[in-house]
Amino acid sequence: MSRVRRLLPPWCDGPVLVLLAAAFVSGAGVFLVVPYLALHLRDGAGLSSAAVGLLLGLSYWSTRVSGLAAGALTHRWGMRRVMVLGNLLRVAGYPLLLGDSLAQVTCAVLLIGTGAGVFSPVARAALLRAVAGEHQLRAASARATCANAGMALGPLVGMLVFVRGSAALFVLAALAFAALSPLLWRLRLPEAGDGSGAGPAYWRGAVALAGRRPVLLITAATTLLGLAVVQLESAFPLLVVDGASVWPAGGLFLVNAALLIVARRPVTRAVAGRGVRPVFVAGFALFAAAFVLLSAPASWWPLWLLAIVVFGVGEVGVSLWIDDRVRAQGADDATTVYGLSGVGDACGGLVGALFGAALIGGAEHRTAAGDGWSGYWVLAPLLMAAVLALTPLLPASARTGGPGPVPPADPGTKTEPGHAAGRPAAPFAPPVPAGRNEADARPGHLDSLPVVRLDDFGALTKEEVRR
């Protein structure tokens, strides 16, 4: 044990190891089930495509909305208790998926989604509190590596287990999160709150920001992103799986997870300095192209792989665009804007899952030979119509990755020519961890947080890229 300890960096102590293990277990546990949940609900529980879309949309919705309250709970109860709470909600939710009752399954997906939404932002913030400032970037990169490893392993294990029955899959996921809970409970971390409440200023600030035009546009863009991204979990598995073989669903998730890691840096370079409007339209155009390709018949399965590649590039590009627009609002408002946009993401995901499920009904009536294109492509022009309607409202001259708001100069200070329009050293700044800032989202609290660049992180998890 001592030999292994010597191989670890000095900042990687006991609490950090637990949080890194939690990132791995969370990634593996979630993606153990996600690629196959839609298939279980349709083929195992006997639900219609419309019901499957509603349930997965509710899960997506509860995950995003509950993240808005994660910081408030942290300030009152502390990070350790909130992480354990989120974990136990998932432990309770997975066994309920074994039931055939629609009410029972609905309760299950809400518990699982809420647990994930509460756990993830607080776990990311807890790692930053457990590590000194000069090592935080390395710790965040290590966490991303652990989470990505879990997300790569989860679909593979899930594929082997799911073919033997979905019951074993849900029990395995519940056991994984149950085993993690005692480790989280023993954590000792510096806490953000004093138990005095969530801070009314956070909610007052949210109401004030919600009516600003830039924030409305960010929320609208995130709503469309949620509508598109939820298709990966709700519609794609049902489109590509025909019969007993589940490898297409697992394979598509593996390709998508790997692409989100590999494509981040080149996509960041490609969009940096481009106009805000072209980047916005191009990102969603890639989503639309993926929906058309996913409509191809089973005999054209290479188009499905191409669709996931196109989808992943669009996912990274639009997420970075949204991060950049939030950054332009200033650090003091970033947490609240992310919270508001998360609600839009939740609503878009719910609507997208329902609409995708309705289109799946046409896909299920393909010819027996599998030669017919499904009607799923209809989602593409509808998405682009909404995007083009928003485009004229976006700033025409702003550049993606341009500098954020410039503070007012002191009297007598001369501003350097071209300062506001100069090329930034880093194209994007990532969102500051939601769990920490939501607890401290009062005027002045964000000023002391370190400013980091997206390129400083070795990798980001799928969830972090999206958010």
Dihedral sign from CA coordinates of 186, 192, 196, 198 = negative
- C-beta of residue 221 within 8 angstroms of C-beta of residue 280: yes
pLDDT recorded at residue 460 = 42
Q: What is the pLDDT of residues 52-110, one digit of tens each?
A: 888 988 888 888 888 777 767 877 788 888 899 999 999 999 999 988 788 999 999 99
Distance between CA atoms of residues 397 and 277, nearest Å: 9
Q: What is the pLDDT of residues 220-243, one digit of tens each?
A: 999 999 999 989 888 888 777 765
Within 13 Å of residue 108, how many CA atoms lie on the same side as its CB? Answer: 20
Which residues lie closer than 8 Å to 258 by C-beta, 6 or more apart?
152
pLDDT recorded at residue 5 = 54
pLDDT recorded at residue 369 = 41
CA 413 to chain CA centroid, Å, is: 42
Q: What is the pLDDT averaged over residues 162-168? A: 85
Q: In angstroms, what CA-CA distances link 226 with 63, 66, 202, 351?
A: 12, 15, 24, 9
**Under CATH, which architecture does the 199-404+427-447 domain have?**
Up-down Bundle (1.20)
pLDDT recorded at residue 24 = 92
Classify 10-195 by CATH class.
Answer: mainly alpha
The larger pLDDT score, comparing residue 77 to residue 339, is at 77
Least confident of 116-120, 356-360, 410-414: 410-414
Q: What is the pLDDT of residues 415-433, one digit of tens each?
A: 333 333 332 333 333 333 3
pLDDT recorded at residue 67 = 73
pLDDT recorded at residue 448 = 29
pLDDT recorded at residue 311 = 93
Distance between CA atoms of residues 455 and 467, nearest Å: 16
Closest CA to 127 of 10, 260, 12: 12
CA 395 to chain CA centroid, Å, is: 26
Q: Where do you find CATH 1.20.1250.20 in the chain? A: 10-195, 199-404+427-447
Which residues lie closer than 8 Å to 357 by C-beta, 6 or more apart?
49, 50, 51, 52, 53, 54, 234, 235
pLDDT recorded at residue 190 = 63
